[in-house]
Amino acid sequence: MIFIGCDHGGYELKMEIYNYVKGEMRLDITDMGCFSKDSVDYPDIAEVVAKSVLEKNGVGILICGTGVGISIAANKINGVRCALCSEEYSARMTRKHNDANILALGGRTTGVELAKSIVNTFLTTGFEGGRHQKRVDKISSLEKNSSL
């Protein structure tokens, strides 16, 4: 299952990506908001998408103006590995090596066609496991042991 969400700065790109994933890629995708260009707080959307990704063992796509704020917020949820990607190589490698479960994009910094290509790469690339699993496990351990 794929979950997508955005704040007002990512609304237009979210709609393009939603239609691309549903229409051209023919994948199931659930829109978690926002549903207009009205101002919303990106941490709220990041939380809803992140929790859905974890509960359903899915993947997510988050979009705000730059992708930075929403990715920071998503990464505060234990179990989330959200990567802000601005090109296909990073999207491919974060899936292969980091088992990222959420992709972040900048609605005001990434063109539609490039964003579609990044999304396609992210959604069609799998985790390699092997030596990378140890590193992902260490990330999980950091979450569990962080008490500051």
Q: What is the pLDDT of residue 68?
A: 98
- pLDDT averaged per 10 residues, the chain (length 148): 98 98 98 97 98 98 98 97 98 98 98 98 96 95 79
Backbone angles phi, psi at 84, to 5 degrees: -85, 120
Q: What is the pLDDT of residue 113?
A: 98
Q: What is the pLDDT of residue 108?
A: 98
For the chain, the structural domain boundaries read 2-145
CATH number for 2-145 (one of 3.40.1400.10, 3.90.226.10, 3.90.550.10, 3.30.950.10): it is 3.40.1400.10
Catalytic residue among 6, 8, 34, 64: 64
Tell me how far apart the alpha carbons of residues 37 and 56 are, in angstroms, rounded to a whole number: 28
Q: Which residues are CB-contacts of 20 (< 8 A; sequence separation ≥ 6)?
A: 116, 119
Cα–Cα distance list, 132 to 1, 71, 97, 143 (Å): 23, 22, 5, 17
Check if 97 is active-site. yes
Half-sphere exposure of 34 (CA within 13 A, CB side): 20
Taking the model in full, what pTM does it have? 0.96
Q: What is the pLDDT of residue 146?
A: 74
Tell me how far apart the alpha carbons of residues 106 and 86 are, in angstroms, rounded to a whole number: 8
